[in-house]
Structures are given as structure tokens and as C-alpha cells.
């Protein structure tokens, strides 16, 4: 299976095999393992290398004064933790490992060299950060105008799409090793209420969620319930290759 980062960026640009090799080598170096719950990057600090999630699941989150915590985004393999660091002085939020997570530490000068030598990479990275902020905007809509049900369904559907893009979803299932409490932090609700909604979704046979794996039992209906319109992800292509993926696959958006 190809490198998640490459799979993701190839939604937008095509790389030559030489370029892919270079990217692959870049991501293969200086891996660091973070255990579940560990803080990968802390608010206020200025990391020198750029961190790329290679495996596992991390979260972009902020702790608020009253102890409450807000997860603003989940980071899956192929996502960068801190592109903003190219420019800004310090992180304005934390990156926390949700499960055991492996990150590649990319040296800034190395990336910069690659950027000058591979012009397509610059565009691809721009695209990547732009879609990241589009996802953020979608989260605002979530919280502003969607019910608890819709919010959870929307998040699940989005995760399905994103995992598919990087080749980590098999058919209609994807790894989702979060507790209901963490899901509550991400959707801005209480754990109790998350539980109630999830129970409902299970009872309606919309989803299955067991052993850290979420399976969507009725993809079109979930999309409908979620009110999902995927154009914000700016993914034009359909997935190639994945044999198990039903004919609905290209139709996810």
C-alpha cells in the first residue's frame, strides 16, 4: 500500500515515480513513537521539524480554562501537525496522540530543498492546507447549525472519506480508536449525550462500532442523515484500485 501522504497529495497532483520515491524517503526517516495520551506538540512551543503522522491517530485540541477540552480536528496518517510553524512563532494549540501514534520528523531545510526541486509539491501542500481549513469550516457549520445526530454522522462520514483517500478504510469500515468522551470533545457535546446518539445509530442499524472499528452499514443513508456535501474536501478523483470498494465508492462525495 502506498504512503498515505502520497496517496493524499495525488488526489490533487500526479507525481513521477522518482518524485514519489523522494517523498517516500522523506517520510521514512526519523520516526518517533508517541503512546496514547501523550502530548506531541504543546501550545506555546515552537517545533523545529515538521511532524507528519505516519500511523495512529492524533488530535488537534485546546484545553479551556474550565478543564473542558475541545478537539478541533483529528489527524490521520498523511496529515501534517504543524505546517503553520514555517511562519508562526508558536503553536496556539496542542497536538495529542489519541492512540499510539508514529510521527516522522521532517527537517525544515530538507523540505525546503524538496519544495524548490519539486514545484508540484508546493502546490500540493497548499492544496492540503487549504482543504484542511475547509474541513475546519465544515466543523463550524457542524456546531452552528447541525443537531447532535447530524454532527456525529457528519464526522463519521468525513472520517470514512478521509481514510479511504489514504487507503486505510476497507470497504465501509475504518479504524476509529476514540472513546466516546473524546468524540464528545470533538463534537462539542457531553459524553452522556454522545452515548445516547451512538446507541440510537446502532439501534437503527446505521453503523456498527466495536473494537475501535466503525463500520457504516448504510452509507447512502448516513450521508443523507449527515447532510453531507463533500465538495468542501476538493477531491475530484474517485478512488482507484481498491477492489472491495463497491460501485458506490466514487460516489461518496
Partner DNA sequence: CGTTGACTTGACGGAAGTCAAAAGGTGTGG
Partner DNA sequence: CCACACCTTTTGACTTCCGTCAAGTCAACG
Provide the binding-site residues for its own copies, judged by CB under 8 A: 44, 60, 62, 64-65, 68, 70, 72, 84, 86-90, 92-93, 123, 126-127, 129-134, 136-137, 139-145, 187-188, 227, 231-232, 234, 236
Figure out which of the listed residues 181, 239, 242, 249 binds DNA, where binding follows CB under 7 A: 181
Three cell numbers, residue 45: 512551543
Cβ 36 to DNA shortest distance, Å: 9
Stretch that binds DNA, among 17-25, 55-63, 95-103, 191-199 (CB under 7 A): 191-199
Q: Which of 175, 156, 176 is nearest to 225 (CA)?
A: 156
Q: Which of residues 188 and 230 has its CB atom nearest to DNA in the complex? A: 188
Q: Which residues contact 119 (CB under 8 A, 6 or more apart)?
A: none
Measure Cα distances from 23 to 1, 35, 57, 107, 246 in Å.
15, 26, 21, 13, 30
Q: Is 180 in the site for DNA (CB under 7 A)?
A: yes
Minimum distance, C-beta of residue 151 to DNA, in the bound complex (Å): 8
Quote the least distance from Cβ 231 to its own copies, whole Å: 6
CB nearer its own copies, residue 127 or residue 239: 127
- Residue closer to DNA by CB (options 62, 196) is 196
* Binder among 72, 148, 168, 217 for DNA (CB under 7 A): 148
DSSP-derived secondary structure letter, 70: E
Q: Is 239 helix (H, G, I), strand (E, B) or coil?
A: coil
Contacts 24+ apart (CB under 8 A), 199-207: 200/149, 201/149, 201/152, 201/153, 206/153, 207/156
Cβ burial, residue 41 (10 Å; 0-12/13-18/19+): buried
30's grid cell: 526519523
147 part of the interface to DNA, by CB under 7 A: yes
Q: Which does 116 bind (CB under 5 to 8 A by kind): its own copies, DNA, none?
A: none
Amino acid at each position: 500500500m502506498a504512503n498515505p501522504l502520497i496517496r493524499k497529495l495525488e488526489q490533487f497532483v500526479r507525481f513521477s515515480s522518482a518524485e514519489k520515491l523522494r517523498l517516500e524517503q522523506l517520510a521514512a526517516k526519523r520516526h518517533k513513537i508517541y503512546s496514547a495520551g501523550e502530548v506531541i506538540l504543546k501550545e506555546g512551543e515552537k517545533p523545529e521539524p515538521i511532524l507528519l503522522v505516519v500511523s495512529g491517530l492524533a488530535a488537534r485540541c485546546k484545553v479551556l480554562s474550565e478543564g473542558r477540552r475541545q478537539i478541533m480536528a483529528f489527524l490521520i496518517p498523511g496529515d501534517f501537525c504543524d505546517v503553520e510553524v514555517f511562519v508562526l512563532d508558536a503553536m496556539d494549540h496542542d497536538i495529542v496522540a489519541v492512540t499510539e501514534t508514529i510521527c516522522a520528523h521532517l527537517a525544515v531545510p530538507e523540505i525546503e530543498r524538496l519544495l524548490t526541486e519539486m514545484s508540484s509539491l508546493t502546490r500540493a501542500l497548499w492544496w492540503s492546507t487549504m482543504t484542511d481549513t475547509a474541513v475546519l469550516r465544515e466543523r463550524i457549520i457542524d456546531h452552528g447549525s447541525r443537531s447532535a445526530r447530524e454532527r456525529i454522522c457528519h464526522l463519521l462520514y468525513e472520517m470514512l472519506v478521509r481514510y479511504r483517500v489514504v487507503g486505510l478504510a476497507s470497504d465501509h469500515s475504518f479504524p476509529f480508536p476514540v472513546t466516546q468522551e473524546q468524540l464528545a470533545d470533538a463534537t462539542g457535546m457531553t459524553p452522556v449525550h454522545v452515548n445516547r446518539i451512538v446507541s440510537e445509530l446502532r439501534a437503527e442499524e446505521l453503523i456498527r462500532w466495536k473494537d475501535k472499528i466503525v463500520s457504516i452499514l448504510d452509507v447512502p443513508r448516513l450521508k443523507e442523515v449527515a447532510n453531507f456535501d463533500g465538495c468542501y474536501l476538493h477531491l475530484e478523483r474517485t478512488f482507484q484500485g481498491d477492489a472491495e470498494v463497491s460501485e458506490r465508492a466514487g460516489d461518496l462525495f
